[in-house]
Amino acid sequence: MLNNFPQFHPSRLALALGATLLFSGCAIGPDFVRPDTALPENYGTEVNLPVAAEAEINPEWWKLFGDATLDQLVEQTLANNQDLLAAVARMEAAEAAAREAGAEYFPNVDLQGSSVRNRTSGTTASGKQMGVLTSTNRRVALDVSYELDLWGRIRRSNEAARAEALAGRFAHDSVRLSLIAQVVSAYLNLRVQDVEVLATTRNLQSQTKTRDIVLGRRDAGAASDLELAQAKAAQAATSAQLSESLRQRALTENLLALLVGQPGFRLEALADNAVPLPPLPPVGLPSDLIAARPDLRQAEETLVAANARIGVARAAYFPSIGLTGFLGSESARLSGLFESPAEIWSYGATLVMPIFNAGRTGARVDQASARQRETLANYQKTVQNAFREVRDALISLQLHDRAENELLAQLTAAGEALKLANARYDVGYSSFLDVLDSQRTYNSAQLQYLAVRRNRLNAAVDLFKALGGGWREASGEENPQAGVAPTEDDATASGS
């Protein structure tokens, strides 16, 4: 009787699996369309980024500062920082999950093998004596199963997994960008603090010499004890200011050590007043450059995944069709396991049709749709926030530049006033109080000037971060990379 059945050929199962692809022409659920974002055409500041047709992102934007030490610190950070290494691991996990989802496109093939020996009882339930029976069964077979993706559940699931993997990659890029910005900001802050320490040290030296001069004049009867006490108080205040500047520098250095992943890291202080100048955006930089921001692209891919999850949920309304089959051998003797009479095979199809589940499928579709709307709102907010951050950075660059010019004029005038106060005190035309007041004004002007330079540098870093990277300088165009902060001039020397 068995010979009347058609002979099984493995190619028939393969043909059946391939034929099902013809029925898989559509996928349930909405296709992704990038949302429109209603943003102004420019940033509404005097330092607008003009719209251009094309722009090329410079991923190594920190090199626009032209500082070799900074370049080395960034390289060390990218190699050693623990936050970045953790982000790499999360990215790799998301990519592995995408590969796992992609495996559903293919049949699942398992090799099964068994060897079973059975013994039946020699006594039946009624007590009748029967002979003891023993048997041995050995089996080897290939088991194949495959789900027909008629409704696109697998395709939507893979679409979501691929988008989540890309989102993981952009999340890593966001961590990388933020980390580099922290390193650059901390380094530039450290360099400004170096100049603050130099300026305060020189002011302290000047005030120490002033105290010694007043002490000599007091001993000669040309100055009072009050003037000497005032000179000592000014010197002590500047000494305390120097201690605070050194403390702040040490804390910034410790932060850099953490970021570069090297505990105990130390960076030699500057020996001059050179403070970097912030690079300025060139003409022709497009206002839509924020599209390169990794967090914005991460938000978009997250929206793609949420959109695809709606299709996965809707596919549960429709029947699930699967193909199964196996081909192998079964024999009582191991030597006869691979002989022709031992051949066994089977193939078939299964269908599971949802009938009633008390609204569970509909609830899952509603959940997926609600999550998609939430993700869409988050995407729109990310775009709007990116626009705000670029605009904030541009405004800060513009106004800090203006303030720096004004403070430079203040510093120059304070230096002239200190010269005049010392000259008038030396010839007895003004009191020592005028000298002390001029010294305090000059010292304050120095610190304010350096503070606004720090703010300009931080605004430049914020702009790079807000744009998702830097820009490439035009060939032959030079960008000023460093300047000298006028923290000391001839007024300091004349005040001694």
b/e string for 34-72 if b means 16 or more Cβ within 10 A? eeeeeeeeebebebebeeeeebeebeebbbbbebeebee
Q: Chain centroid to CA 394: how far?
A: 22
State in words which class domain 20-106+152-318+363-494 has: mainly alpha
Distance, first Cα to last Cα, the chain: 119
Whether the predicted pLDDT of 493 surpasses 50: no
Return the axis-axis angle of helices 432-467 and 153-219, rounded to nearest 10°: 170
- Worst-scoring range by mean pLDDT, 87-101, 457-471, 476-490? 476-490
270 pLDDT tier (thresholds 50, 70, 90)? confident
Domain ranges of the chain: 20-106+152-318+363-494
Mean confidence (pLDDT) of the chain: 81
- Worst-scoring range by mean pLDDT, 46-55, 174-183, 456-465? 46-55
Q: Which residue has the higher pLDDT, 45 or 315?
A: 315
Contact (CB, 8 A) for 43 and 451: no
Percent of the chain with pLDDT over 90: 33
Q: What is the pLDDT of residues 321-375, one digit of tens each?
A: 888 888 878 877 766 677 767 788 888 888 888 888 899 989 999 999 999 999 9
Whether the predicted pLDDT of 260 surpasses 70: yes
Q: Which residue has the higher pLDDT, 234 or 283?
A: 234
- The tokens for 62 are 């920190």
What is each CA distance from 150 to 247, 452, 483, 495, in whole angstroms?
Answer: 68, 64, 67, 88
394 pLDDT tier (thresholds 50, 70, 90)? confident
Whether the predicted pLDDT of 88 surpasses 50: yes
- Residue position matching structure tokens 């804390």: 251
For residues 254-263, average pLDDT: 90
Whether the predicted pLDDT of 13 surpasses 50: no
Alpha-carbon distance of 457 to 369, in angstroms, equals 44
What per-residue confidence (pLDDT) applies to 120?
73
Which of 292-296, 377-381, 426-430 is predicted most confidently? 377-381
Q: What is the pLDDT of residues 18-77, one digit of tens each?
A: 444 444 456 788 888 888 776 665 555 554 444 443 456 678 889 988 889 999 999 999
Whether the predicted pLDDT of 478 surpasses 50: no
Alpha-carbon distance of 169 to 385, in angstroms, equals 21
Q: How does DSSP assign 198-244, residue by residue?
A: HHHHHHHHHHHHHHHHHHHHHHTTSS-HHHHHHHHHHHHHHHHHHHH
Best CA proximity match to 370, nearest among 301, 313, 300: 313
What per-residue confidence (pLDDT) applies to 58?
76
